[in-house]
Amino acid sequence: MKKLGFIGTGVMGTSIVKHLLKAGCTVNVYNRTKAHAEAALAAGALWSATPQEVTEKSDVIFTMVGFPTDVRAVYFGDQGIFQAPIAGKFLVDLTTSEPTLARELFEHALKEGAYALDAPVSGGDLGAQNGTLTIMVGGESEPFAELKPLFELFGTTVQLQGGAGSGQHTKMANQIMIAGTMTGMCELLAYADKAGLDLEKVVATVNGGSAANWSLANYAPRILQHDFTPGFFVKHFIKDLRIALEEAEKMGLELPATQEAKRLYDALAAKGEENAGTQALIKLWWPAGDPAVYHKKS
């Protein structure tokens, strides 16, 4: 299964495309802004003018776009995936999106004789670059088994979570956890700074103990280097937290810590940081992105 399509060549999508190309696959790509696909094209991907064209040329079509509205447009739009003959094809949405939309895509694909999986990922830009993403899959077991070798080209933890929508529900659980570690990391840094501690030593020490976590290991060093480039956009994280809270409400579940995390990220976006990386949350404590105490020690 070498003829692949990939729609959405953003920060993570481009890295995934490169892994697929390295494995010898033909990859037809589309992105709403062609200039953002240049890195993928330079690596050997082939350009298609529409999602429909990508689908017509490919056996497996991956999508990785920003928001559920983008997912809907890519699949159901005038020149979308579902405008092409899809019988026998595999459709894989890597976008973090709504479980209800994932089930809708699955049911529409099934009527047309195709197979749809929702497969959101975790690991950020570094995970995509290194091919070490965690991939959370919802859908039927047979299509999953057939596509698992492809998933393993860019992920190291690949698990079928259940039926359609289960991958998205698992990603919501993941984002709920991330919300806690991101707010905890920022408050740790703010507290340690106020206490006059050496922040690099604190991060190294805490990350060697029971409070160790991915956010602390990967984002605290970026903060201390004043690097707020997006491995994952603030605006996309807000979208994820919104979906998580909406799904929780449907289930009659209250998530107060996640509600507070979303409130903080909304406040950050209101300051013009929606296109920054999620580590920019520290700017609610350090508006310039760097603490005076740390500067003095540098």
Do 131 and 155 touch, CB atoms closer than 8 A? yes
Instruction: Give residue for tokens 């999986």.
Output: 117
Known active-site residue 171:
yes
φ, ψ for residue 79 (rounded to 5)?
Answer: -120, 40
Contact at 8 Å (CB) between 257 and 165?
no
Of the residues 171, 239, 262, 283, only one is catalytic, namely: 171
Paired with 121 in beta bridges are: 135
123: left (phi over 0), alpha (psi -120 to 50) or beta: left
Structural contact between residues 38 and 68, judged by C-beta atoms closer than 8 angstroms: no
Retrieve residue 264's tokens. 């903080």
Three-class secondary structure of residue 79 per DSSP:
coil
Bridge-based pairing of strands 3-7 and 60-63 is: parallel
Using DSSP bridges, classify how beta strands 46-47 and 115-118 pair: parallel, antiparallel or unpaired.
unpaired
- CA dist 52 and 50 (Å) reads 5
Question: Which residue in 184, 167, 37 sits closest to 106, CA to CA?
Answer: 167
Q: Please give the positions annotated as active site.
A: 171
